A and B are shown apart, each in its own frame.
Chain A
Amino acid sequence: MTDLLAARTQMALSLGFHIVFAVIGIGMPALMVLAERKWLKTGDPVWLDLAKRWSKGTAILFAVGAVSGTVLSFELGLLWPKFMEYAGPIIGMPFSLEGFAFFTEAIFLGIYLYGWTKLSPTAHWWAGVAVMVSGTVSGIFVVFANAWMNAPTGFEIVNGLPTNIDPIAAMLNPASFHQALHMTLAAFATTGIAVAGIHAWMLRKNPQDVFHRSALHVALLVAIPASLLQPISGDISAKFVAKYQPAKLAAMEGQFETERGAPLRIGGIPNEATRETPYSLEIPKALSFLAFADLDAEVKGLEAFPEEDWPPVAITHFAFQVMVGLGTLMMLASLWVLVLWWRKREVAESRPLLTFLALLTPAGFIAVEAGWVVTEVGRQPWIVYGFMRTKDALTPMPGLVYPLIGITLLYCFLGVVVAYLLWAQILKTKPMTQEMRVP
């Protein structure tokens, strides 16, 4: 394994690990705040119980998210020091603001988790709101920094060095808005669907359980709007990629030839050697329409770019298919729930829907991982699109396979432990109010 591949793998693993916890850190506070609000309004202990049990799980997940995020802030330098030296002054601004937002989130999460008996119920609820807002804002700022890597603006290159820096323009680059929107919606949709799925699974065994019914209801309140808006946000993103990163779009779609009226490919296995994507279902002209709102628009294929500028085509295409497919399933589940609600029927009584939701529990997380593969692998071979190649940013430190092995073992261990704890300490234990409610 080359040092470059080891470093890229380590970065992918670290980001892929952290993002699960980051997404939960954004999504869970919304659920806890909604449940606690219900408790404040109704005084029904089932809501308090729910907020408390959710916060127990969030505490475990947030801690792992905080430390794995710390790892990333160092790893950017450990693996890509030349990138950070180049980009630090340009995109340090969103990172600094993210620092403060995350700081606020950590402070109020501490207050929320440990303050149940130390604050008035209303003050406690507001602490939860502060966690939710600062967590969301902190995610948005991080995505701004990543967006700059896709749409680098706010500087000029003079004698090979970035000059005339404008950090505000860099922060508000053309990719910022749609990437931040897509990621924020993803965080809420993913968390909402995952929590709904877990409680739907419980309801399959006992559909009358008030605790799980309440939990499912709140989770769906968060999941439905986010997963219905996500396709629209995805469309905005696709149009951006078509305009600013045509090579990435071509890889996402397995499009090798430049053509007018390009088809949308569902499935298929891109072959870089033969420059074809066989075994795909082609919808005529749909790609041209989706990318440029014109059935006959010209879509640039990979052949329009030198091969050294191609991203890994098969990975990007496959990841894109997975993301869109799972996003569609999540949207369908949301529509199904809405239909039942509209007909005034209980979600908990539709066994097929409960099964569908339960099966979708990991869907959002897989979609998020796949989406980041599209963004990051699809940007290769660039670390700063069009300006700096990933290989030129690499640290001179040799033997990078060893830290990769170390971090892989560490994160596998943590992943197993977290899963075990959530299962043993939360899922397996009975809610306090359950005995009182369920005969």
Chain B
Amino acid sequence: MTLAYVLAGVTMLALNAYVLLGGADFGAGVWDLFARGPRAARQRAAIEEGIGPIWEANHVWVILVVVLLFTCFPPVYAHLSVALHIPISLLLVGIVLRGSAFTFRAYDSTKSPVQKYWGRIFSISSTITPILLGVCVGALVSGALALPVGGDFLATYLRPWLTPFAFAIGGLTLAVFAFLAAVYLCVEVHEQELQEDFRRMAIAAAIAVGAFAGIALLLGSRDRLPVMGSLLTQPWALPFQLVTAVLAVTAIGALLTRRYRLARLAAAAQVSALMWGWALAQAPYLVPGVHTIESAAAPAITLRLVSYGLVGGACVLMPSLWYLFRVFKSDSMSAFERVDTAEYRRPKGE
């Protein structure tokens, strides 16, 4: 196990964290779009309260992934940036609109006539962005990025990602994000009616995850993608798939029996298992057919210094993140919560 493999693993961990945290924030935006019925306004309020304080921090995971990629595996970053120029550009538009519109909605007055449009932009971009992210991953997994860069425009910049398989992964990503969001919201809301709403959404999303995973598997086998071969034939493949299946069944079972904390744990584990299955199936390739972890790795000294930086950074980051989630996501309310504002205004106890 070389340092390059360790850093590839850390990059994957950061992506995993982005999916579990940032992904769920996108998923919450999807439910904002689909909020219906008599409790739609309350659903939207719960979503806003759930992601407001944390989405910016959760979003930084993707920046960490990008930075690790260009520092530790620069040819991979360059290759993906060229081959996926168009979907990544569209993805960025989605990221910009989602974040800005969410903040504009939160800070614009509810009386403002444009306020409802911010909500619309927020929820639509929350829905499109995950699809584009999944399309990029799907194009990468499918091995279509191995084409020489700079040839025919269609063949180089469009065909690799305009495939049914890539869009199936796009759909899978959207379903996964929505699934995570709904499961988390089940734990976070305290009103039973809302909890039931989000539970129904979570079950619907779980079915969608299964459906898109099935479609992706079928398309992948039809196209004889090499990654499918390893998913079926490698020695780790069968136990890994069993574990994923058990986690999926656990998540659904916990939702059906309203054990939401267990559901949250199982859902997060199931999604992580999906991601690591992809990573294992594609290893040692970072870009199938082009760059492996070893061939794309930066010089040893860069890798060593980055790993020191990661250890140092984690020492700051982990306690900070723990504090963030303790403040906003712990069930027991802190002593200062719901203190009347007028009282709070007098710190000296005048």
Q: Which residues of A contact B (CB under 8 A)?
A: 39-40, 43, 45, 48, 56, 59-60, 62-64, 66-71, 73-78, 81-82, 84-86, 88-90, 92-93, 95-100, 102-104, 106-111, 113-121, 130, 163, 165-168, 395-398, 403, 406, 410, 414, 417, 421, 424-425
Contact = CB atoms under 8 A, between A and B. Distances in A.
Nearest to A433: B345
B67 A96 contact: yes
Given A81-B82, A396-B82, A397-B157, A92 B316 contact: no
B107 A421 contact: yes
Interface stretch (B26-34, B56-64, B230-238): B56-64
A117 B339 contact: yes
B96 A71 contact: yes
Contact of A107 (B52, B75, B321): B321
B82 A74 contact: no
B56 A96 contact: no
Interface string B292-335: 00000011011001100110110011001101100110000011
Nearest to B301: A165
Interface stretch (B84-92, B217-225, B245-253, B261-269): B84-92
Nearest to B79: A81
Given A73-B66, A117-B344, A406-B89, A84 B81 contact: yes
Contact of A103 (B60, B85, B153): B60
A265 B241 CA distance: 72
Given A92-B298, A119-B327, A396-B149, 17 more contacts: A43-B347, A59-B107, A67-B100, A69-B63, A70-B63, A84-B74, A86-B74, A88-B71, A100-B312, A100-B313, A107-B323, A110-B56, A120-B336, A395-B85, A396-B82, A421-B107, A424-B108
B89 A84 contact: no
Contacts of B312: 100
B57 A110 contact: yes
B68 interface: yes
A8 to B, nearest CB: 16
Nearest to B96: A67
B53 A119 contact: no
B82 A92 contact: no
Contacts of A59: 103, 106-107
Contacts of A73: 63, 66-67
B74 A88 contact: yes
A414 B53 contact: no
B191 interface: no
Contacts of B324: 107-108, 110-111
A84 B64 contact: no
A377 B73 CA distance: 29
B63 A99 contact: yes
A106 B96 contact: no
A90 B298 CA distance: 9
Nearest to B302: A89
A39 B345 CA distance: 9
A102 B62 CA distance: 12
A97 B309 contact: yes
Contact of A99 (B313, B321, B344): B313
B290 interface: no
B139 to A, nearest CB: 15
A104 B320 contact: yes
B99 to A, nearest CB: 4
Contacts of A66: 56, 59-60, 99
Residue among B67, B112, B323, B346 with max Cβ neighbours from chain A (10 Å): B67
A104 B100 contact: no
Contacts of B75: 85
B59 A48 contact: no
B348 A89 contact: no
Interface residues of B, number: 78
Contact of A45 (B70, B108, B109, B345): B345
B211 interface: no
A118 B338 CA distance: 8
B38 interface: no
A88 B70 contact: yes
A119 B339 CA distance: 11
A40 B81 CA distance: 49
Contacts of A45: 345
Contacts of B338: 117
A96 B339 CA distance: 40
B26 to A, nearest CB: 13
B95 interface: yes
Contacts of A97: 309, 313
Nearest to B297: A89
B300 to A, nearest CB: 9
Contacts of B341: 117
Contacts of A109: 56
B318 to A, nearest CB: 11
25 contacts: A59-B103, A70-B63, A70-B96, A71-B92, A74-B81, A78-B88, A78-B89, A89-B71, A92-B72, A92-B298, A92-B302, A92-B306, A96-B67, A96-B310, A97-B309, A97-B313, A107-B321, A108-B320, A111-B328, A115-B327, A121-B344, A165-B301, A396-B150, A397-B85, A421-B107
Residue among A76, A88, A98, A130 with max Cβ neighbours from chain B (10 Å): A88
A102 B306 contact: no
Nearest to A399: B153
Contacts of A107: 57, 317, 320-321, 323-324
Q: Which 4 A-B pairs have the closest CB atoms?
A: A92-B71, A77-B81, A88-B74, A100-B313
A214 to B, nearest CB: 16
Contacts of A56: 107
Contacts of B71: 88-89, 92-93, 95-96
